[in-house]
């Protein structure tokens, strides 16, 4: 079963705008990760945030984590056409496996 849910399910924005997607999970985590998936391909790891961290940056990506609300957000700034993809959050609950959410389909309009 999938423990996380992303919101929105789909998002379309103009190139250059910022994109924000949210993730909720159900139980305590060790860390939360975000992945990108281009159509029909495997997933690419973007960023990992540990449970004792509140914010993390990597290039144009900013991730926040609110463990009291069991939620995370991914912000992509200055979006590009190449950012068009599905984005998934994945939670690690202290065992060895990741549990993925349902994903947000992001479309960047040139």
The residues that touch another protein, with contacts defined as CB under 8 A, are 1-2, 4, 30-31, 33, 35, 40-45, 48, 50, 88, 90, 92, 95-103
* Nearer residue to another protein within complex by CB, 17 or 54: 54
Host H or E run for residue 61:
strand 61-66
The CA–CA distances, whole Å, from 55 to 1, 9, 37, 58 equal 27, 23, 23, 10
Q: Using the structure block, give the residue that is written with the tokens 């973007």.
A: 46
Handedness of CA 107, 74, 82, 35 (dihedral sign): negative
Structure tokens given for 16: 């250059």
Shortest separation between residue 104's beta carbon and another protein, angstroms: 10
* Nearer residue to another protein within complex by CB, 41 or 80: 41
* Nearer residue to another protein within complex by CB, 17 or 55: 55
Shortest separation between residue 96's beta carbon and another protein, angstroms: 6
Shortest separation between residue 66's beta carbon and another protein, angstroms: 20
CA dihedral 15, 89, 25, 52 (to 10 degrees): -100
Shortest separation between residue 58's beta carbon and another protein, angstroms: 12
């Amino acid at each position: 079963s999938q423990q996380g849910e992303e919101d929105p399910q789909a998002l379309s924005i103009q190139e250059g705008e910022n994109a924000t997607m949210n993730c909720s999970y159900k139980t305590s985590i060790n860390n939360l990760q975000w992945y990108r998936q281009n159509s029909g391909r495997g997933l690419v790891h973007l960023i990992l945030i540990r449970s004792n961290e509140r914010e993390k940056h990597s290039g144009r990506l900013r991730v926040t984590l609110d463990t009291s609300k069991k939620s995370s957000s991914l912000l992509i700034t200055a979006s590009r056409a190449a950012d068009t993809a599905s984005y998934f959050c994945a939670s690690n609950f202290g065992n060895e496996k990741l549990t993925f959410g349902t994903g947000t389909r992001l479309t960047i309009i040139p």
